[in-house]
Amino acid sequence: MKHWKLFMAALLSLTAAPIMQSCDDDDYPCYTDYVPNALVTLKTNSTNGEFYLQLDDETTLWPTNVKQHPYGGKEVRALVNFRFEGDPKDHPANVHVNWIDTIRTKPMAAPLGTADDEIYGNDPLEILKDWTTVVEDGYFTLRFSTRFGGTQVHELNLVKGEGPYEVVLHHNAHGDTYGQMSDGMIAFRLDQLPDTGDETVDLTVRWMSFSGEKSATFKYRTRK
């Protein structure tokens, strides 16, 4: 999603990759085709150039109806709607992709010490407990909620904290803090954290909420 596209718009957006599946009964809409059923990373195979979806740390999906990366080979996180073709237990599993809607995907920002709040902002937001708030495949993807007045583009940045597996989420609303609460999504590549090897560690995320500083812990393993 470009910048801070609202989450509800993402649920209904079919413009990113209009690969729609028709219903068996044309008299009734297929509502399940209009909502995302997976959060993935869009990737390209370095050996043969084929486009594929990384579902989680272990599961790969091969689209049978999309042969070329729809975004020029750029690796990004995305919401998708798909259906399995064949046995879902196959590795990789063949799938038919109905649509793709990309999520704003960023690298981590450079830590600036005591200047982090000044440069990256410290405006409040809420990280929502949701199936799309997850650490997997080397990314921290989150659904969040904050006040949008529509007068400025908000910025989110993820900065390495004091501990080896601690990150701080910064929000700069550029003064746009008086609108209604609305949701958005964003993803960060966890490319500045130490390699965990084959171990799974606790990743602590800290942020400023509307009720003060908060933190949450996620399981993290460096992607292979």
Question: What does the pLDDT look like over 53-88, one tens digit per residue?
Answer: 999 988 999 999 998 999 989 999 999 999 999 888
Average pLDDT, rounded, for the chain: 87
pLDDT of residue 89: 87
Closest CA to 135 of 91, 81, 189, 184: 189
**Whether the predicted pLDDT of 166 surpasses 80:** yes
| Structure-token pair, residue 112 | 């600036």
Q: How many angstroms separate the CA atoms of 127 and 142, rounded?
A: 7
Q: What is the mean pLDDT of residues 112-127?
A: 97
> Is 183 buried (19+), middle (13-18) or exposed (0-12) by CB count in 10 A?
buried
Q: What is the pTM of this model?
A: 0.85
What's the CA gap between 167 and 6, in Å, rounded? Answer: 24
Contact 19, 65 (CB under 8 A): yes
pLDDT at 224: 81
Asked whether the predicted pLDDT for residue 19 surpasses 60, the reply is no
pLDDT band at 47 (very low <50, low <70, confident <90, very high): confident
- Both structure tokens of 78: 């995305």
**Pick from 106, 45, 109: nearest CA to 76:** 106
Let me know: does 80 contact 40? Beta carbons within 8 Å: yes
- Average pLDDT of the residues in 178-184: 94
Q: What average pLDDT does range 92-117 have in this prediction?
A: 96
How does 58-88 read in b/e, with b if 16+ C-beta sit within 10 Å? ebbbbbeebeebbeeeebbbbbbbbeeeeee
| Range from 30-39, 104-113, 174-183, 201-210 carrying the lowest mean pLDDT | 30-39
pLDDT number for residue 14: 29
Instruction: Answer whether 41's CB lies under 8 Å from 53's CB.
Output: yes
